[in-house]
Structure 1
Amino acid sequence: MSHTKLPDYLFFSDTLKSASLAVTPAELHGLLTGMLSGGLKTDDGRWQPLLFDYTSEGMAWTMAALSMAEKVVTYTETEMNENDFRLSLLLPEGDSDKDLMEKSEALSEWVNHFISGLGLAQLEIKSLSEGSKEALGDLEEIGKLMIDEEDDLNEQSLLLEQVIEHVKVCVLTIHAECGVHPEPQDKKPTLH
């Protein structure tokens, strides 16, 4: 994978806010990942007008916000199409109880926007395999989860990490079936 990475959550959040966009980095990353997993190609630029319609009533974004969104799309597309089955989720970090609550809420937003991204890509849910339908059902349930502040937050933190890993598996399952995958490179014959 290239040396690029997902942008810093707080910096990205500030960039989106300064562009007057009412979308969080988690929501945006979930939406874009859903669009990619639903089969939307990025090389024709169709994703940008869909993004503008969904987030800003069709108005174009500032160059700074769009540039960061393009980096997120490129990074995510590259990461999902590699053979090591990894997926990064753009979620806030931190160790405090407040950070845990924010991360839990951001995961819910990420998942719900991922599902919206599948819709924007016009994914035919009826045509999914049973495995992908099950993964989508799991994501729908995860999108409703919230941490109860009355519970043991250390235990909740561990459970949240397990849920995040399950989200990744569900997303990669759907992407493996429906996402756009690069064409295999033709290998040139070896000359002896």
Structure 2
Amino acid sequence: MSDIRLPDYTTAQTELTTASLSVTPAELQGLITGMLSGGLTLEDDSWKTILFDYTNDGMGWPSKAAVLADTIYALSVEELIKADVVLSLLLPDENDLIHYADAVSDWVNHFISGLGLAGSSLAKLSSETKEALSDLEEISKLGIDEDDDLQEQAILLEQVIEHVKVCVLTIHSDLGAKPAIETTTNTSKTLH
């Protein structure tokens, strides 16, 4: 198990606001996860250049905010390449259902943006990936109706979040960069 953990949402939001960055923690993680799922290389820091261009007119981030982004990036890489397919979403406290649902929508919208920023060709997607992307596009329009039963909507939102995770993992399995596997050319096989 990894020592990397998602930061507290409120603390992360404070750090981003203090750094005068107009991105929420949910949007930041969605964007990074989208870039990784879209095939952005894991071999360099090109994700930072894209992130800075997208969120801060190409200017670097203050150090505390940059450390926050590095942490989110590292956890996202780890979760996307694990075999046990666990994915954590950086979302606010779910006690405020409206804010929580908005953050899910923002996460998904920025995930889709991240896919585009990664420069992947979406022309040759598998049917499963096309369906997952279509589902995410619909989820990105998500909203909570305050006049409906909020307890029922909270249950439905949790189901939507689980579906988001499945869609993201499906897209990543089709398009996402995989870690380089070191191979040796002079391997000998020994049978016992």
Point out where structure 2 has 5 or more consecutive residues left out of the alignment: none
Amino acid at match of 2:169: L
Q: Does 1:78 align with 2:78?
A: yes
Query: Is the 8 Å Cα contact of residues 4 and 74 (structure 2) preserved in structure 1?
Result: no
Q: Deviations over 1:117-168 (max 9, x none)?
A: 0000011111111110110000000000101001101100000000000000
Pairwise CA distance, 1:43: 2.8
Q: Does 1:179 align with 2:176?
A: yes
Q: Deviations over 1:2-40 (max 9, x none)?
A: 121111100000000000000000000000000000010
| Runs ≥4 residues deviating over 3 A | 183-192
Gap change, CA 1:184 and 1:63, over 3 Å in 2: same
- Give the match for residue 146 of structure 2: 149
Pairwise CA distance, 1:184: 4.2
Amino acid at match of 2:146: E
Amino acid at match of 1:50: I
Alignment of 1:34-183 (within 5 A): 34-95=34-95, 99-183=96-180
Q: Secondary structure at the match of 2:123?
A: helix
Gap change, CA 1:127 and 1:60, over 3 Å in 2: same
% same residue: 56
The CA RMSD over aligned residues, in Å, is: 1.7
Amino acid at match of 1:23: V
Q: Secondary structure at the match of 2:142?
A: coil
Amino acid at match of 1:155: E
**In structure 1, C-alpha distance between the alignment counterparts of 2:61 and 2:190, rounded to whole Å:** 48
Gap change, CA 1:93 and 1:191, over 3 Å in 2: farther
**In structure 1, C-alpha distance between the alignment counterparts of 2:190 and 2:54, rounded to whole Å:** 49
Point out where structure 1 has 5 or more consecutive residues left out of the alignment: none
